[in-house]
Every structure is written in C-alpha cells, then in structure tokens.
Structure 1
Amino acid sequence: MSSPGLRERKKLETHRTLATTAVRLVGERGLDHVTVEDIAADAGVSARTFFNYFASKEDSVVIAHADHAERSLRMVERLAVLPASMTTLEALLASVREELAEIGENRDEWLTRIRIIKENPGLTLRAMSLNSDAVEPTIAAIAKRSGTDPAKDLYPSLLLSAFGSALNASLMLWRDLGGSRPLLDLIDEAVATLAAGLADPH
C-alpha cells in the first residue's frame, strides 16, 4: 500500500491534533463541560474545520485516527497473507499487533480515552461500531485460514468474538493498572491463556 501524499498526511495530522485535544480537554473537564468550539480553539482551527473531520464532539473523543476504516481493512489483508504455519489465533494477534503497539506507545492518551468511554456509556456503542464493517471480512478470512464455512461452522465467529474479548479484557486491566504493565504483555498473556483453553490457573 502506497504512502499517503502531503495533502493526505496533513489531513491525518489535523485529525490527530483534534482527537488528542478532545481527549485531553474532556479528560480534564468532563464530556458535558467541553464544546466543539473549545476543542477547535485549543487545536488552533475553526469550528467549521472541526466539522470537516468529525460529525460530533463525541466522535472526536472516540475516533483516534481518520483512517480507522482503512486500518481495519489492512488488518484483514494482513490476516489473509500471514504464513499458514501460524495458528489462526496467532495470525489474528499478528494482524493487529502494530495498532496495539501504537496504543501502548500513546499510553496517556489511550488511558484517558478508555476512562472517558467507560464514564460515558453512550460512547461505548459508538466505539464498538467503528470496526463493524470489518467483522464479516475478518470472519471470512478466519474461515479461509481454518478451512471452515462461516455459514455452517461456529468456529470463525466464535474465534473472533473470543479474541475481541481477550483484547478488551487486556485493555480494561491495563487501564485499571494505570498502564504500569506494557499493554502488549497483557495481550500476549490473554491470548496465550485463550489458546490454552482457559484452564484454571495453577
């Protein structure tokens, strides 16, 4: 996939500036005490420019990257071409590792974003909906790797659900620990536990 041009990079950068500003301000003041105008002014743009990037204040908190849909598509593309020697669960983790590493590298931003979403249940559904378009293609890629049929077999959708739950549990524990343990370590532990069949700890 080719690198974005200058114009596209500027758009991505402006989106990131608005998103990080929104998370910081809402983290400090609360969602109900921050306006679109506040976010735009702090980011050095107009409210009109803000609405070129986000439909609402809530979206500016939840959508960390302008290319979130393309990122989901790239994950599916990576999953499809990873070596057959990897288990499907290993391949799922490898396909999203880059994005997970980026979350860990931007720890404070993401700890604040996760806290805001938890404190404002209305944001949870919005956050969950961001990757909805990638669900069916991901299930199809899992089915192809595993030699199963998603129309007849439970495995593809069950594996994706279990993997998503492992990621979510890791993110919640990471938040509760204040980011004191590396996120990728927690996720590796969660996936290893899942791969072992969730046996009782010894």
Structure 2
Amino acid sequence: MTGPGLRERKKQDTRAALAAATLDLAEEHGLAAVTVEQIAARAGVSYRTFFNYFSAKEEALLRPTGGGGSTFGAHLLAQDASLAPLDAARAALHEELSALEDDGAAWHRRLTVIAQDETLLPRLVQLGATNEREMAEAIATRLGQDVERDLYPGLLGAVLGCAVRVTLTRWHRLEGRTPLPRLLDEALDALAAGLPGARPAGS
C-alpha cells in the first residue's frame, strides 16, 4: 500500500535529483550555459516535471529544497517565550544552519558556483530580500508587533540576513573547517556588543 509518506519521499527524491543535476551541470558549464532540458535529462525526468518542483534553474541551484522559503519562522515560534528576541532568533538560525551543514559538501560546491557567476547576483538580491522579509514577519508575530508599522522586526530581520550572508561567506572561505553555528555566533555576538572597534591585524 502506497501512502502519503511514500509519495512524499518520491517527490523529495525527484527534487533532490533535479537540484543535484543543476549543481553538477553548473559546475561543468556555468549556469548561464545550462538549460532546463539538460537538467531534466541528467535527472532522468521530463522537461515538464522540472517545473513541478522549481520555477527556474536559478531556483534549483539557490533553493535546492524547494521554493517554499526557509523554516526560520517555524523554528522561531517554537522557541521558549522567555527568550529575548535576538536569543530566540539565534536558536532558530542554529537549527537552519545545522540542517544546511548536514549537506555541507554540496553547499560548499554550490557557494563556489555562486561566487563565480555574477549573473546570479540579481536573483541572490531578490532571495535575500525575501528571506529578510520572512524573518521580519516571524519576529513581528512572536512579538505581537506590526511588520509594516513597527521598526524592530524589519530591522532585526535585515541584521540577521546580513549576519547569515557573512557567516556563509566565511564558512565557504574557510572550506567548512569551522562549524556554521560557531561562525554565526561570532557574527551575532559582535552585533550584540554593538560592533566594537576591530583591532589592527597583528596588534
């Protein structure tokens, strides 16, 4: 008997195959030179099947688990209500980045492709803005504030988005030798301390 669990696993397997094919081809040829037809053929599915999972090849590279966005909101709302907003956000991001690190080798390859392809910049900016908006909305919900009217949710969402981008960039440059959550903590600790002046190298 095939139930929803099996169907969902098959969908996850197909999505993963498409994401892996996109990454492989982007490494081999550059994403700009890769077509959806090539991705579908490499994954062993039809051209139309690709669009059941991703809206474009850029999404298959940048959001390999699908277009539904991050799970930050769910993680944030699950945190203890007594935690300060930044501490709750830190815990939520730890869960997200730990999950990303579970697929660390693929993400390191993906970040290398991204760093080498300037044509991805507009899509990265768009995704960054979307992620920050999602974080701001989740923060507003947790605090009972209005994301349109109140300053704090949007400001914290933007700061968190910046911290995550810097963290991922450092993790990639360090070739994954330092755990992502530790690098995130360094960034958030510096922000919480008010960005104290950095000492010159060698001092």
Q: Shared fold by TM > 0.5? A: yes
Relative to structure 2, which stretch is displaced further, 121-130 or 12-21? 121-130
The RMSD of aligned alpha carbons is: 2.6
* TM-score between the two structures when normalised by the length of structure 1: 0.81
How far has the Cα of 1:125 moved from its partner?
A: 3.1
Identity across aligned pairs (percent)? 41
Question: Who is 1:56 aligned against?
Answer: 56
Classify 1:8/1:128 alpha carbon distance in 2 versus 1 (closer, same or farther; 3 Å). Answer: farther
- Cα distance in 1 for partners of 2:137, 2:55 equals 31
How far apart are residue 114 of structure 1 and its match? 1.9
- Structure 1 residue aligned with 2:23: 23
- Which sits farther off after the overlay, 179-188 or 119-128? 119-128
Q: Label 1:165 to 1:119 Cα distance change in 2 as closer, same or farther (>3 A).
A: same
The amino acid that maps onto 1:16 is A
TM-score, with length taken from structure 2: 0.81
Question: Where does residue 184 of structure 1 map in the other structure?
Answer: 181
Structure 1 segments of 4 or more deviating over 3 A? 127-138, 143-153
Task: For structure 2, list consecutive stretches of 5 or more residues without a partner in the other structure.
Answer: none
Match for 1:155: what amino acid?
Y
Note the C-alpha offset of 1:45. Answer: 1.9
Are 1:75 and 1:95, in contact at CA under 8 Å, matched by a contact in 2? yes
Q: Deviations over 1:26-58 (max 9, x none)?
A: 113212333323322222223232233223322
Deviations 1:119-172, CA, capped at 9 Å, x for gaps = 333323324434756655642442455576545542221111111111100111
Give the drift of 1:189: 1.2
Contact 2:128/2:161, CA 8 A, preserved across alignment? no
How do 1:60-139 residues align onto structure 2 when only pairs under 5 Å count? 60-66=60-66, 68-69=67-68, 72=70, 74-130=71-127, 135-136=132-133, 138-139=135-136
Deviations for 1:84-103, whole angstroms, at most 9, x for unmatched residues? Answer: 33221111122232221122
Distance 1:39 1:139 in 2: 34
Count matched residues.
Answer: 196
Q: Distance in 2 between the 1:151 and 1:53 partners?
A: 31
Partner-residue secondary structure (3-state), 1:110: helix
Contiguous gaps of at least 5 residues in structure 1: none
**SS where residue 158 of structure 1 aligns?**
helix
